[in-house]
Structure 1
Amino acid sequence: MTEGNRSWPRRVLGAVLALARRSVATVVLVVLVLVGLRAWHSTQGPPLRPWHTIVPAELDSDAIVHGDWNAWMAAESRLFDRLHRDLQREMEPADRTPINRYEDGSFASPLAFDREWNRSYILDPAITPRGVAVLLHGLSDSPYSMRSLAALYRANGFIAIVPRMPGHGTVPGALTHEGRKEWEATVEMTMVEARRRTGGRLPLHLVGYSNGGALGLLHVARRIAAGERNDVQRIVLLSPMIEVNTFARYAGLAGLPAYFGRYAKTAWLDLLPEYNPFKYNSFPVRAARESYLVTSDLQGAMDAVAQRGAMDKLPPILAFQSVVDDTVTAPAVMTRLFDRLPANGSELVLFDVHRGRMLDPILRPGVTAWTHEALKVSRRYTFTVIGTASEDDATAVARSRPANADGVRTRGIGARYPEDIYSLSHIALPFPADDPLYGRDPSGRRVIQLGRIAVRGERNTLAVSQDSLDRLTWNPFYDEMRKRIEETLPP
């Protein structure tokens, strides 16, 4: 080989390396520019308030998992007492508004409700227990979101155990510190309490909403992957966080400037008034990153179960999901969870968009049409879509393809798709129409009623986010969901 021929590969390699160096430099430059813009943008907008800067001292993951339910409840009580004192000391007169959840006399105060639903609780049935249900709430949420479902299980003879995930139910600033390790430890501690209460005799059900669904599945999958006994007979999921958007994966970069005090607000994706008594409106960067890591851990655990050849150990799953969801990737519930399940009696129920003649044309087909093809395929599980009967008939029907069936069965569910609603939302599923806070026809005392607020007027006038008021907060098909859950309970 001539010298020229020998040098050709070196020249090509050198050119490739030079191109790679330029590409890396370009990416680094783009990241630095974006981070710089993010830092500058954080200097605009509202200042941080005490509920953003106070970080309550929760139990760490080791203390949680090595403790028990009674120790958790005692620590939680001390936590809430300290937090209340700290907030009252730090709040300024301008913070004491009629819609601030942290002002004791406000319409949005948790104290205005029949109990402090931000805390962990257990609902015992009036009869001899027939089972135990653990219910896990979602990210930035609180145990309140499991209130109606917990009552449903109690009415059917189950002990309902609803833990508060660390960092939740207190102040948004808590989510700048607490994360998946503490949440997973809390699930483990709660499941130990649940198994104790079953006494090895009663069925154990696990119910998870959003991030709580991912945490519950992760707990079960890890036990199976480790060869441990799975004590859960049934899993019920609502808007499960199987996959989140791509931004959550890299959300940590958005918060880098927060290490410099001047840019502390870059630790937050949203800084909003806190008018919801049981859910944060402000949202920190770290919470987005932790939610992605939970879904990543879940996929790893499911892979481990599959590699062990133990997918048949997973209990039957009943899941409810809106076809459109701005928080999680809705199709991933089908493709990344249900399509991996064995034929074990599982069912996926989708709430479709309103396909009426006036509404369907203004919907984006790229995010609403995927259910049409999904119903054409026979699967190992039952696949159901609840929506309008036709473009001229808003009667709600359930179109179901049973497991391994050739055709689709259609039946009415005794309801209509409301004409003023074009879809469900991620946050709507657990709440019936009479929910005191989120329902269209709220029951209970005179408190803030977010589900009834439907306002029209001029832009840039409201003190709260118009988008948050427009988002559906209750489930018009809750009764159908309730019936399907009750069918999974022992007679």
Structure 2
Amino acid sequence: MPQPHLATRILVGASRFTGRWVVRALLLAAGLLLAVTAGFAAYAVLMLPDVEPWHTTRLRGEFTEFDAPGMDFAGYQAREARLFEEMAEAVAAMPRDAAYFAGSRYDPNGLGRRLAGGQPYNRTTRRTPAGPLKGAALLIHGLSDGPYSMQNLGDVLLAQGFEVTILRLPGHGTLPSAMVHMEYDDWVAAMTIAARDISSRLPKDLPFYLAGYSTGGSLAMTYALDRITPGADPSLRTPTRVLLFSAAIELTPAAALTPILDLFARLPVQAFEKVNWQSIGPEYDPYKFVSFPVNASRQVYKATRKLQRQLLEAEQAGRLGQLPSVVAFQSAVDSTTGANGVSTTVFGRLKGAQHRLVLFDVNRHAKYDIVRQPSPGTLVTSVVDGYANGTRQHTLLLVTNRSRETEEVEVREYAPGRRDPVVTTPGLSWPLHLVSVGHVSVPFPPKDPLYGYEEGSGANGIPSIGSWRVRGEEGAIVLPLGALGRIRANPFWLVLQQQVEMLAAADTTH
């Protein structure tokens, strides 16, 4: 019978043809990945500055997820204290006369150390209110910075009667090299220890706030979603509110390449040590690493991918209505994590006036039209339009210019089912020459001693980093000029402060 024989031959031929193309596609993909990895390795080896001892010295006392079983919060702090002793010994062994050491955060006479004034803001801290206890808050910092970034929020909540715990995430606050070895699961384990301690001590009728900045925001949302998942650990309390500041919700597609970028760093070749790093810079900031390893991007990518899966699963299961109040403070321009993650991926799913998005618009004064990117305005317009077409069902507070002819701002509050906003004037204006707020600026007031930009900001006779006005030709200084032009504090911090105070007062009034 020739027909079946012919059909069989056709099927076999088609199968071989398909198989060859699959193999070719896989080889092409492997070749592209190898080319990307080799290209990054060449860039790191040839273009990045040399690594210094704080890029290569590994501290063995850092907490990991494997240390968590049986460890309580006091044990975590005790281990942290030993870690900082180990770091002090490592720093003491570094050559003091080396050019890289002078002026660094590790130099006792350096600008950063004098600006910090010996404050313990690289460590986990806990503060209790002077008066009656009215609540508790767990605050989680972002990637490459430290507990200092949550200090101003902590001050606000402490004044409202909250016990304030600011957690140092593993891999932070010591040497940049710690970020090469940290893991996402280490962060989750540390957060769980702190949350369990608070849950066990806080009276059930008092509010529990969980707040996170950048990567800390991703961790806070993951914790909240875990609490509404069937089989959740009953020893961990559900937050009354989740506060997000420039939260890392989603990253660019390029972040998917981070698992392979530092492949060459695994080879026993000293020159390839630099392949661990996306950027290497002078460590002048006492509370934030300037150098940034590939592993840091890898771990935050894990965090955001897990969070996105959780959001989708909770939405499909109809559980998002069980989430506690989510309150987010977000710049319309965010070059680190993007604004769309918070404004759409999270708040596009949330329903109810208890969920509040405070969005800091760009400076819409007409004089900046020629230099201002149009995309942030498009994002803001799409969010506002959601109240006209009924697709937005959360509260929105938009901080924006009163008109295109003034730099005074107003707060427009939109609510579910209400097309027209309620407008208030906080008495604030855009500072001179400022076009936007940004990712790193949201949780810091204009007079912050480290990052404030206002005249007189600083401490111990040292001007704040945020007030530096260094200008010159590209290549004249060791930092990119763009890094010095980036806004480090929030001109509309007062709006943020008043929102937190209002919510805390509402939650603690019985």
TM-score by length of 1: 0.95
User: Structure 2: how far apart are the matches of 1:257 and 1:281?
Assistant: 23
Aligned to 1:255: 262
Indicate how the Cα distance of structure 1 residues 385 and 344 shifts in structure 2: closer, same or farther if over 3 A, else same. closer
Aligned to 2:104: 100
Task: Say which of 55, 60, 63 aligns to 2:58.
Answer: 55
Task: Say which of 79, 84, 95 aligns to 1:75.
Answer: 79
Asked if 2 retains the 8 angstrom alpha-carbon contact of 1:353 and 1:423, the reply is yes
User: Structure 2: how far apart are the matches of 1:96 and 1:406?
Assistant: 57
Q: Which moved more, 1:23-32 or 1:206-215?
A: 23-32
Indicate how the Cα distance of structure 1 residues 238 and 466 shifts in structure 2: closer, same or farther if over 3 A, else same. same
Asked if 1 retains the 8 angstrom alpha-carbon contact of 2:262 and 2:294, the reply is yes
User: Structure 2: how far apart are the matches of 1:92 and 1:426?
Assistant: 35
Indicate how the Cα distance of structure 1 residues 305 and 109 shifts in structure 2: closer, same or farther if over 3 A, else same. same
Asked if 2 retains the 8 angstrom alpha-carbon contact of 1:110 and 1:117, the reply is no
Aligned to 2:405: 392
User: Structure 1: how far apart are the matches of 2:34 and 2:256?
Assistant: 18
1:232-261 deviation per Cα after TM superposition (whole angstroms, max 9, x unaligned): 111111001111122222212110000112
User: Structure 2: how far apart are the matches of 1:97 and 1:465?
Assistant: 20
Indicate how the Cα distance of structure 1 residues 2 and 191 shifts in structure 2: closer, same or farther if over 3 A, else same. closer
Task: Say which of 20, 23, 31 aligns to 1:21.
Answer: 23
Task: Say which of 471, 477, 482 aligns to 1:467.
Answer: 482
Asked if 2 retains the 8 angstrom alpha-carbon contact of 1:135 and 1:162, the reply is yes
Say which SS state the counterpart of residue 431 (structure 2) adopts: coil
Deviation at 1:9, TM superposition (A): 4.2
Say which SS state the counterpart of residue 447 (structure 2) adopts: coil
User: Structure 2: how far apart are the matches of 1:280 and 1:159?
Assistant: 28
Q: Is 2:76 aligned against 1:46? A: no
1:411-437 deviation per Cα after TM superposition (whole angstroms, max 9, x unaligned): 322101223111111100110011100
User: Structure 2: how far apart are the matches of 1:411 and 1:103?
Assistant: 47
User: Structure 2: how far apart are the matches of 1:469 and 1:111?
Assistant: 17
User: Structure 1: how far apart are the matches of 2:283 and 2:54?
Assistant: 9
Aligned to 1:130: 134
Show the 5 A alignment for 1:446-457. Answer: 446-447=461-462, 449-457=464-472
Show the 5 A alignment for 1:95-244. Answer: 95=99, 97-109=101-113, 112-113=116-117, 115-228=119-232, 230-244=237-251
Aligned to 1:32: 34
Q: Is 2:445 aligned against 1:445? A: no
Asked if 2 retains the 8 angstrom alpha-carbon contact of 1:397 and 1:410, the reply is yes
1:263-301 deviation per Cα after TM superposition (whole angstroms, max 9, x unaligned): 121111011110110000101101101101011111223
Aligned to 2:344: 335
User: Structure 2: how far apart are the matches of 1:331 and 1:35?
Assistant: 29
Say which SS state the counterpart of residue 301 (structure 2) adopts: helix
Task: Say which of 320, 323, 337 aligns to 2:332.
Answer: 323
Say which SS state the counterpart of residue 434 (structure 1) adopts: coil
Runs of 4+ in structure 1 deviating by more than 6 angstroms, as ranges, are: none
Deviation at 1:307, TM superposition (A): 4.6
Deviation at 1:121, TM superposition (A): 0.5
Aligned to 1:424: 437
Q: Which moved more, 1:288-297 or 1:332-341?
A: 332-341
**Structure 1, unaligned stretches of length 5 or more?**
none
TM-score by length of 2: 0.92
Matched length = 491
User: Structure 2: how far apart are the matches of 1:389 and 1:13?
Assistant: 66
Aligned to 2:394: 381
User: Structure 2: how far apart are the matches of 1:427 and 1:111?
Assistant: 19
Say which SS state the counterpart of residue 402 (structure 2) adopts: strand
User: Structure 2: how far apart are the matches of 1:109 and 1:343?
Assistant: 46
User: Structure 1: how far apart are the matches of 2:318 and 2:386?
Assistant: 25
Say what the alpha-carbon RMSD is for the aligned residues.
1.9
Identity %: 29
Deviation at 1:40, TM superposition (A): 2.3
**Structure 2, unaligned stretches of length 5 or more?**
none
Q: Is 2:306 aligned against 1:291? A: no
1:86-130 deviation per Cα after TM superposition (whole angstroms, max 9, x unaligned): 122033522465431111111112784251210110121110111
Say which SS state the counterpart of residue 369 (structure 1) adopts: helix
Q: Which amino acid aligns with 2:485?
A: D
User: Structure 2: how far apart are the matches of 1:14 and 1:397?
Assistant: 67
